Structure 1
Amino acid sequence: MVIMGYARVSSKDQNPERQLIKFRELGIPERYIFVEKQSGKDFEREKYQAMRLMLREGDLLYLDALDRLGRNYDGIVSEWKYITHEVNADIVCLENEALFDSRKFKGMGDIGKLLEDQFLSMLAYVAEQERKKNWIRQAEGMQVARAAGVKFGRPKHEITPEFIEVYQEWKADKITARKAMKRIGMSNTTFYRRVSEYEA
């Protein structure tokens, strides 16, 4: 039996260390800990797929919480059943270990399958609803920020007196285009776009 851990955070600036500490405390070897910094909207994740391919009958997979597996309702249910029924490995969710330890359900026969399906459906639904709430909160936050004058995306390079001075030197063949771009910190594309705007 191989014991594995799968940790996931939704973006590259988030830290999965809290999840990793739990796995290390369980004695899971580093080579069997899979860490992903990617959204849980689907299951086409490199580390997840690698872990999935390695799982064999009798193996045990630890998750910090069910939503680390994913945030798509149907996908969570499908993946859980694939791992626990088709591969015949087991899953333990540390956050809800009393409820979510597939070994307990297997030992209860048909009633265990029924309970597992009910609990899994309930928590997978909660996980997906939380993801939808996060989208709504993010959209509302951006709307409020825009109303307050906050601009998103890369700042636009304006046509400044500095640009005009550099432009005139470049047009008079006193400096090269590359040197002009470097002096005002513009990329090739941005520089020529501003040139077109200025000349128009």
Structure 2
Amino acid sequence: MSIFGYIRVSTKEQNEDRQLIALKEYNIPPRNLYIEKQSGKDFNRPAYKRMLRRLSSGDLLIIKSIDRLGRNYEDIIDQWRIITKDHKADIKVLDMPLLDTTYGKDLLGTFIADLVLQIMSYTAQIERENIRQRQAEGIAAAKAKGVRFGRRPYELPEEFWDLAEQWAQGKISVTEITKQTHLGRSTVYCKMKEAGYRKTEKPTG
């Protein structure tokens, strides 16, 4: 049996010392300790993939907490199955003693670990839905009070439409409009097109 450790922090600025200290007592060989500084949004992580390839029947994977394995519980459940069923390795989650497949190697022990993981996944999903609902309710309440969301409408200079009218009559060029309004040519053309301005004569610039 080989013992492996997996440590993950989300960014390069975060420190992994707390996880290292927690795993130190298990005397994990340095070559079996995988440290990753990457988001847990999915399992497309180099160090995790290398570790997974080395796991075999009877091996033990130790992690500090379940969220160090990943952030998405549906994906965690899938990886849990791959590790315990496909690779036939064990997992020990230090912060959650019930998530320990070495405890009670009988059917009951496996059932308890799987059940706890399913409950955690369900709880996380409910919390995500509650967050989305609270956000939607907050936005609706803010809109009811007159709060506006999104970009502020683009405010054109007061003289723009007078200049646009002069352009349509062939009196000035777009270049003159850009000089006076400090707008880009594409913006000038776009706004005049939206307003239905058309120049009947050949542009002077």
Range of TM-score over shorter length: 0.5 to 0.7
Percent identity, please: 23
Aligned partner of 1:42 in structure 2 is none
Relative to structure 1, the CA distance from residue 36 to residue 192 in structure 2 (aligned partners, 3 Å threshold; closer, same or farther) is farther
Larger Rg: 2
Residue 189 of structure 2 aligns to a residue whose secondary structure is helix
Aligned partner of 1:53 in structure 2 is 49
Structure 2: runs of 5 or more not aligned = 25-29, 198-205
Conservation of the 8 A alpha-carbon contact between 2:22 and 2:64: no
**Greater share of helix residues, 1 or 2?**
1
Instruction: Determine the C-alpha separation between the residues in 2 that align with 1:155 and 1:166.
Output: 23
Aligned partner of 1:35 in structure 2 is 38
Instruction: Give matches, 1:4-19, under 5 Å.
Output: 4-7=6-9
Aligned partner of 2:133 in structure 1 is 136
Instruction: Determine the C-alpha separation between the residues in 2 that align with 1:159 and 1:2.
Output: 63
User: How far did residue 156 of structure 1 move?
Assistant: 2.3
Conservation of the 8 A alpha-carbon contact between 1:19 and 1:64: no
Residue 5 of structure 1 aligns to a residue whose secondary structure is strand
Conservation of the 8 A alpha-carbon contact between 1:159 and 1:198: no
Aligned partner of 1:115 in structure 2 is 112
Structure 1: runs of 5 or more not aligned = 9-14, 39-44
Task: Say how many residue pairs are matched.
Answer: 179
User: How far did residue 196 of structure 1 move?
Assistant: 2.0
TM-score (norm 1): 0.64
Give a deviation string over 1:101-154, Cα, whole Å, max 9, x none: 34x34x532221111122111111111111111111121122122222332222
Instruction: Determine the C-alpha separation between the residues in 2 that align with 1:156 and 1:82.
Output: 51
Relative to structure 1, the CA distance from residue 71 to residue 61 in structure 2 (aligned partners, 3 Å threshold; closer, same or farther) is same
Conservation of the 8 A alpha-carbon contact between 1:72 and 1:124: yes
The letter of the residue matching 2:86 is E
Residue 45 of structure 2 aligns to a residue whose secondary structure is helix
Aligned partner of 1:79 in structure 2 is 79
1:150 aligns with 2:142: no
Relative to structure 1, the CA distance from residue 79 to residue 37 in structure 2 (aligned partners, 3 Å threshold; closer, same or farther) is closer
The letter of the residue matching 1:98 is P
User: How far did residue 176 of structure 1 move?
Assistant: 6.6
Relative to structure 1, the CA distance from residue 158 to residue 182 in structure 2 (aligned partners, 3 Å threshold; closer, same or farther) is closer
1:173 aligns with 2:173: yes
Aligned partner of 1:69 in structure 2 is 70
Relative to structure 1, the CA distance from residue 31 to residue 156 in structure 2 (aligned partners, 3 Å threshold; closer, same or farther) is farther
Relative to structure 1, the CA distance from residue 134 to residue 61 in structure 2 (aligned partners, 3 Å threshold; closer, same or farther) is farther
Select the residue among 190, 193, 198 that pairs with 2:190: 193
TM-score (norm 2): 0.63
**RMSD (CA atoms):** 4.1
1:23 aligns with 2:19: yes
Residue 36 of structure 1 aligns to a residue whose secondary structure is coil
Instruction: Determine the C-alpha separation between the residues in 1 that align with 2:77 and 2:129.
Output: 18
Conservation of the 8 A alpha-carbon contact between 1:66 and 1:123: no
Conservation of the 8 A alpha-carbon contact between 1:62 and 1:92: yes
Conservation of the 8 A alpha-carbon contact between 1:167 and 1:180: no
